[in-house]
Amino acid sequence: MELSSKPTKHILVKANCQSEWDCCDFAVITCDDSWKKGLRKKLDAIGAFNAPDSFISFRFYDSSVEFYQSKDDEAELLSGEKEWEFVTLNEDEEESFEKPETRLEQGLLVLYKDGSGFYKAYGKYTGEEFYTAIFPIGKILDSMENK
């Protein structure tokens, strides 16, 4: 996995979980054309929604993210205060990443009115939460569309 200064089909994001025995350090988001079109529709709908200032977030089912544990240096690619980066993955590289022990389901994308957001998933049998850091999803999409 290599960092990229240009938009790619994958985003590496810091991640964590609420578990006493499982671990999650990073997530990889797949940004294919379907993801971009779907996200644009969601952001446009949010923009058209005249929500009061006290409205917190919009939640969408979304399975574009996979959560992983660090076994090597994957999560260390996000140094310091960086919460996310575009990355280039080699063919089948993602299959070598170590998944949390908990089987995850119910993937959600939580978006705020300003276009930032995060991904979240729940353990199938435990209900434990796995989540990414908050990152500027709308700005990322804009950069991908304007490349």
What percent of the chain is modeled with pLDDT above 70? 95
**Does residue 71 register a pLDDT over 80?**
no
Q: What is the pLDDT of residue 110?
A: 96
Please count the CA atoms within 13 angstroms of the CA of 68 that sit on its side-chain side. Answer: 22
Convert the chain into a string of H (helix), E (strand) and C (coil).
CEEECCCCCEEEEEEEECCCCCCCCEEEEECCHHHHHHHHHHHHHHHHCCCCCCCCCEEEECCCEEEEECCCCCHHHCCCCCCEEEEECCCCHHHHCECCCCCEEEEEEEECCCCCEEEEEEECCCCCEEEECCECHHHHHHHHHCC
Residues in the chain: 147
Domain boundaries, the chain: 2-145
**Does residue 29 register a pLDDT over 60?**
yes
- Mean predicted confidence (pLDDT) in 60-87: 82
**Does residue 141 register a pLDDT over 70?**
yes
Mean pLDDT of the chain: 89
- Mean predicted confidence (pLDDT) in 84-91: 92
CA-CA distance, 117 to 136, in Å (whole number)?
Answer: 7
Q: What is the pLDDT of residue 47?
A: 84
Note whether 134 and 117 are within 8 A (CB): yes
What is the band of 53 on the pLDDT scale with cuts at 50, 70, 90? confident
What is the band of 55 on the pLDDT scale with cuts at 50, 70, 90? confident
Distances from the Cα of 94 to the Cα of 14, 90, 97, 106, angstroms: 16, 8, 5, 21
**Does residue 78 register a pLDDT over 80?**
no
